[in-house]
Amino acid sequence: MSIWEFANPRKFTALSLKILPTLVGLSAVLVLGGLIWGFAFTPNADKFESTVKIIYVHVPSALMAINGWLMMLVCSLIWLVRRHHVSALAARAAAPVGVVMTVIALFTGAVWGQPMWGTWWVWDPRLTSFLILFLFYLGYMALWAAIEDTETAADLTSILCLVGSVFALLSRYAVNFWNQGLHQGTSIPVATGGRTVADVYFLPLVVAMAGFFVLFVALVLARTVTLIRERRLAVLDAQEARA
Amino acid sequence: MLGASDLVVGRGGVALLEGLSLAVGTGDLLAVRGPNGAGKTTLLRTLAGLQPALSGSVDVAPDTLAYASHADGIKPSLTVRENLIFWADVFAAPDGIAPAVAAFDLEPLLERLAGRLSAGQKRRLGLARLMVTGRPLWLMDEPTVSLDSSAVAALAALLQAHLAGGGAAIIATHLDLGIEGQVLDVTPHRAQGRTAPRGFDEAFA
Amino acid sequence: MIALLRRDLMLAVRAGGGFGLALAFFLIVVVLVPFAIGPDPSLLSRVAAGVLWLGALLACLLSLDRLFALDHEDGSLDLLATAPLPLEGIAAVKALAHWLTTALPLVVAAPAFGILLSLPAPGFGWLVVSLLAGTPALSAIGTFGAALTVGLRRGGLLLSLIVLPLYVPTLIFGAEVARRGAEGLAIGPALPLLAGITCGTLALMPFATAAVLRRALRG
């Protein structure tokens, strides 16, 4: 069986509805578990005191904000190459979830930054990049909303997503060049295998990240199913109007 | 000159017209009739290659046709001559604008700004624009819109001259232009929703 | 393609929209800045380079929404699409026409407006250089945005929302060159990076624009 079979809207909907309750439950357990573990059962750090604990919301949401855009990019490519409607709708569904994650990351960052750096906002490269990512999300969603015909909208937003990804990446490096930052380095360096976060904080963080990931998947699936049904209603309406 | 068989056209993934077969040769006029919203414009745009057919194929050499939507594509701030020269250059027309100017009696208007022309003169310029492309097959979408009856008669005469000169035309129109030619009534071809368009999954419907 | 360029330039000159409006807008932005931040020459001279870049960038946006919209409304774009010109060529010519009619006058006027903002003397040359190197990218990106919104109602506002984030890298490097020039610092890698973005944009954007146009014409 090929994975592309799930590009059939009916199969996709059936499978999604079957696994959605599990996903929602799992994400609730993981997010709550990670947060409670993190907030209540880890020590305060010397330098950061209790403020460090916002990391359990901040890092996972930031991760999902970027993943949301990556998912849009992959789905857009699949739509452009293989013309699977579900893929186009999934890209559309990921955008609002991604934008909310971006806002959460920016907000928690500001709340954390206030006691740490003494300011709600600085034009640090990481913060600035997220703000720019937020603007890209807005443009993408606005274009989806402005075009009535779904296929046209899917094509045009996919191309915008490809072009936007290139410019988002360029902006990322341009911003680095433009201002050296205050923000600490990444919390989870993948390549080196080393960690900048101590073990006591790291484990609940991983749990919270897994929770946010499952939550992201669940939200995107639910939204995609809604969009599929919306699309189906539109087709039925069109058929009825012609009959 | 242009042929199509078993053509299905539509927009937004929904088929509008199906089972269309047509053939247009030199000197032919094909009038496409049908109620508003039936898909006449979509059919013309598909024939012109501006949008893909949902199924079936259009057989036409790429450099034989020129498509005119119901707007006449005239820039009011350019003179008649500048408007025509532009299209002649874009289509790399070998004869330039002289034959079209003569055929449509535009000589006295050449230096006039297109925005100052009367409606009938604009229509003549709009047709001359198609002629300077040097393309023999004209696809015209509702060319009679906003024309009075004498202008329609003039349009018919001009079209007849084009056909007599080895041209051909496919026209979507409500009015009978009084020219001998084929008539394609699209009403019986309106899609009943049976045809699943390309790439459109049955699960949506 | 030359015919298309000639026609677009002629239309811009006759209608007067391109040159005049963008320049006037640029001037007004520059005049408003001292009202907003105060007339202190030392403060103005510090922000002059950035303000001039930002003003030029915003002025570039003004005429974008008419780039394809007029040709789309009057049916010219349909006939152009059946012409022997590739849509990629049409996209490139449109970007070039936009640059010549809108951006180039801004580049020429920028030093004069620099006087109003007490731009330091070494900054004038670098301002012109950076604008010359950066504005072609702005035109090419803007053409892409104009193609995306060609048939849409409220296209103008949407166009700004889509295009402005895409302008970020160009603005960063362009303004950096102008600022460093004005402060008498070494220009460093900003200028080659700016030129690189412009070259890459000019090479690739016409293809994206043509893909979008082809799709938008399907209606």
- Looking at residue C135, what is its pLDDT? 96
Q: What is the pLDDT of residues C157-202, one digit of tens each?
A: 899 999 999 999 999 999 999 999 998 888 888 999 999 999 999 9
Question: Per the domain annotation, does A176 fall within a domain?
Answer: yes
Q: Is residue B204 over pLDDT 60? A: yes
> Would you call B72 an interface residue with chain C, using a CB distance cutoff of 8 Å?
yes
Map residue B6 onto helix, strand or coil. strand
- Looking at residue A190, what is its pLDDT? 47
| Phi and psi, residue B113, nearest 5° | -70, 135
A-chain CB neighbours of C143 within 8 Å are none
Whole-angstrom distance, CA of residue C15 vs CA of residue B113: 12
Q: Which residue has the higher pLDDT, B2 or A45?
A: B2
Instruction: List the subunits that have 3+ CB pairs under 8 angstroms with B.
Output: A, C
Q: Is residue B187 over pLDDT 90? A: no
Beta carbons within 8 Å of C198's beta carbon, 6+ residues apart: C133, C134, C136, C137, C170
Please give the average per-residue pLDDT across B70-78, as a whole number: 83
- Looking at residue A192, what is its pLDDT? 43
B-chain CB neighbours of A228 within 8 Å are 204
Please give the average per-residue pLDDT across C7-11, as a whole number: 86
ipTM: 0.92
- Looking at residue A161, what is its pLDDT? 97
Q: Which residue has the higher pLDDT, B128 or B147?
A: B128
> Would you call A32 an interface residue with chain B, using a CB distance cutoff of 8 Å?
no
Whole-angstrom distance, CA of residue A150 vs CA of residue A156: 10
Class of domain B26-52+62-185: alpha beta
Q: Is residue C105 over pLDDT 80? A: yes
Give the range among A216-225, C72-81, C120-129, C131-140 with minimum mean pLDDT.
C72-81
Per-residue pLDDT of chain A (243 residues; tens, 9 = 90+): 677 877 888 889 999 999 999 999 999 999 999 999 888 887 766 555 667 788 889 999 999 999 999 999 999 999 999 888 899 999 999 999 999 999 999 999 888 888 878 888 888 888 889 999 999 999 999 999 999 888 889 999 999 999 999 999 999 989 888 876 556 666 655 444 445 566 677 888 899 999 999 999 999 999 999 999 988 887 777 777 766
Whole-angstrom distance, CA of residue A228 vs CA of residue A230: 5
- Looking at residue A47, what is its pLDDT? 59
**Å between C198 CA and nearest CA of chain A:** 12
| The token pair that represents B106 in the structure block | 């535009």
- Looking at residue A84, what is its pLDDT? 87
Q: Is residue B192 over pLDDT 80? A: no
Percent of chain C with pLDDT over 90: 68
B-chain CB neighbours of A10 within 8 Å are 201, 203
Q: Is residue B60 over pLDDT 60? A: yes
- Looking at residue A48, what is its pLDDT? 59
Percent of chain B with pLDDT over 90: 10
| The token pair that represents C137 in the structure block | 């990218």
| The token pair that represents C99 in the structure block | 């640059």
Whole-angstrom distance, CA of residue A225 vs CA of residue A14: 9
Whole-angstrom distance, CA of residue A161 vs CA of residue B11: 23
Beta carbons within 8 Å of B23's beta carbon, 6+ residues apart: B2, B3, B4
- Contact at CB, A164 and C149, closer than 8 angstroms: no
- Contact at CB, B199 and A11, closer than 8 angstroms: no
Mean pLDDT of chain C: 91
Beta carbons within 8 Å of A36's beta carbon, 6+ residues apart: none
Question: Per the domain annotation, does A3 fall within a domain?
Answer: no
| Phi and psi, residue A10, nearest 5° | -70, -45
- Contact at CB, B71 and C80, closer than 8 angstroms: no
Q: Is residue B196 over pLDDT 60? A: no
CATH, residue A32: 1.20.120
- Looking at residue B201, what is its pLDDT? 52
Q: Is the distance from CB of A87 to CB of A238 less than 8 angstroms?
A: no
Beta carbons within 8 Å of C192's beta carbon, 6+ residues apart: none
Whole-angstrom distance, CA of residue B203 vs CA of residue A109: 44
Q: Is the distance from CB of C103 to CB of C135 less than 8 angstroms?
A: yes
Q: Which chain C residue lies closest to A147 (C-alpha atoms)?
A: C152
Q: Is residue C124 over pLDDT 70? A: yes
Query: What secondary structure, in 3-state letters, does A113-157 show?
Result: HHHHHCCCCCCCHHHHHHHHHHHHHHHHHHHHHHCCCHHHHHHHH
- Looking at residue B198, what is its pLDDT? 46
- Contact at CB, C158 and A146, closer than 8 angstroms: yes
- Looking at residue A139, what is its pLDDT? 95
Give the range among A3-12, C45-54, C88-97, C104-113 with minimum mean pLDDT.
A3-12
What are the sequence ranges of the domains in chain C? Answer: 2-217
- Nearest-CB residue to B72 (from C75, C81, C85): C75
Instruction: List the subunits that have 3+ CB pairs under 8 angstroms with A.
Output: B, C
Domains in chain A: how many in total?
Answer: 1
Q: Which residue has the higher pLDDT, B10 or A68?
A: A68
- Looking at residue C18, what is its pLDDT? 54
DSSP structure string for B30-95: EEEE--TTSSHHHHHHHHTTSS--SEEEEEE-TTSEEEE-SS----TTSBHHHHHHHHHHHTT-TT
Map residue B145 onto helix, strand or coil. coil
Give the residue numbers spanning the domain of A198.
Answer: 20-42+49-242
**Å between B129 CA and nearest CA of chain C:** 10
